[in-house]
Copies of this chain bind each other. A is one copy, B any other.
Amino acid sequence: MNRPNPTLLQPRKTPQQARSAATIEAIRQATIQVLLVEGVGRLTTTRVAERAGVSVGTMYQYYPHKQALLFGIVEKQLLLIEEAMCAASDRLMGEDLKTLAEGLAAAWLDAKTADIVSSRAIYGIASEFDLSAAMGRAATVMTELFDALLANAPDARFADRASVAFMLAALLGGSVRMVMEADPSDGNLERLRIELPRACHAYLVAARI
């Protein structure tokens, strides 16, 4: 569980037969399951392999070590979120503040709740090792995306646009994370769906010159 060598974070071998592709996916799923059911502390290679229905050795054919396993999952999830937000950004470029706020909140919630299970699992790993780097990078990307959207909004100018984009990212990311980690019941998610766009819009309007 120590310093992951970056060059070793890639899969050890790439699958050639359909059989092994299925195995890899089974391991991925099993990792998420174990993470949710047992928690980070009890996520062991043996347990994951057992749940995936393969032997430990098989797992080590595709992942050089445990870290790579976790890293793979997080990376995939972050990529999905990033793609979703980029798409939303394209769609929303040039729109007014109200449309922006509603569109971004909806896109963010959609992306995060599309696979609640994986999302929650990731929050669990996040602190375990050097994910702060990956997540920090994702946050930066998001802030820049927002900054561009705000710059192109026809009905808005800001005294300090960078700070507003930063705060918007914090509000969106933070509140959703908090709810999903504490109690992601349907009721609470519904509340978020209603209140989050409103909160974002209100903030943007208040921050406008």
Q: Which residues of A approach B to under 8 Å, CB–CB?
A: 1-2, 39-42, 123-129, 132, 135-136, 139, 163-164, 166-167, 169-171, 173-179, 181-183, 188, 191-192, 194-196, 198-199, 201-203, 205-207
Contact = CB atoms under 8 A, between A and B. Distances in A.
A181 B132 contact: yes
Contact of A163 (B126, B175, B195, B201): B195
Given A1-B41, A171-B199, A194 B127 contact: no
Nearest to A1: B41
Chief secondary structure at chain A's binding surface = helix
A41 B178 contact: no
* 10 closest A-B pairs by CB: A174-B174, A202-B206, A174-B178, A202-B202, A170-B175, A167-B195, A174-B175, A199-B203, A124-B127, A136-B182
Assembly stoichiometry (copies)? 2
A164 B175 CA distance: 13
A166 B192 CA distance: 9
A196 to B, nearest CB: 7
A198 B125 CA distance: 33
Contacts of A173: 174-175, 178
A139 B181 CA distance: 11
Nearest to A171: B175
Contact of A205 (B136, B166, B202): B202
Given A163-B194, A206-B199, A127 B126 contact: yes
A83 to B, nearest CB: 20
A199 B201 CA distance: 10
Contacts of A167: 175, 191-192, 195-196, 199
Nearest to A170: B175
Contacts of A177: 174, 177-178
A120 to B, nearest CB: 10
